[in-house]
């Protein structure tokens, strides 16, 4: 320990070769960190993740919470939640299209006046 202290913090060597539990946890942490960096790499991915989070939060805050958290109901997680996400995505697309059409009609109305 004295030698490690004299060498300083940048030259300190910790032996974790025999600690397989710590090694596995560090490897898992690095894999998860890589995935989160990939997801949060650009604004579009962050927006998509936030969108999915908000939709799943709606389901979780509803009375379906007990069904969603139980492990016995795979049908809800595998089929209902993706369909619900797709329905909200289509609803948002229609909303965006309506807004574009409203803006187009406003510009035409301004030109006419």
HSE (side-chain half, CA atoms, 13 Å) at 67: 12
- 3-state DSSP assignment of residue 42: coil
What crossing angle do the helices spanning 43-61 and 81-112 adopt, rounded to 10°? Answer: 120
Which pTM does this prediction carry? 0.50
Q: How confident is the model at residue 82 (pLDDT cuts 50, 70, 90)?
A: confident
Q: How confident is the model at residue 17 (pLDDT cuts 50, 70, 90)?
A: low
Q: Is residue 72 pLDDT above 80, yes or no? A: no
pLDDT > 90? residue 100: yes
pLDDT confidence of 103, banded at 50, 70, 90? very high
pLDDT at 31: 87
Residue range 30-39, pLDDT digits in tens: 888 888 777 7
Q: Quick check: 92 and 101 in contact, CB under 8 A? A: no
Question: Does residue 14 come out as left (phi exceeding 0), alpha (psi in the -120 to 50 range) or beta?
Answer: beta
């Amino acid at each position: 320990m004295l030698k490690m202290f004299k060498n300083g913090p940048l030259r300190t060597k910790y032996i974790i070769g025999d600690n397989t539990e710590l090694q596995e946890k560090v490897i898992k942490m690095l894999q998860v960190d890589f995935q989160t960096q990939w997801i949060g790499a650009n604004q579009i991915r962050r927006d998509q993740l936030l969108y999915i989070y908000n939709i799943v939060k709606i389901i979780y805050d509803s009375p379906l919470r007990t069904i969603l958290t139980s492990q016995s109901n795979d049908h809800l997680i595998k089929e209902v939640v993706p369909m619900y996400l797709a329905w909200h995505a289509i609803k948002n697309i229609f909303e965006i299209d309506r807004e574009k059409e409203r803006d187009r009609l406003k510009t035409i109305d301004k030109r006419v006046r």
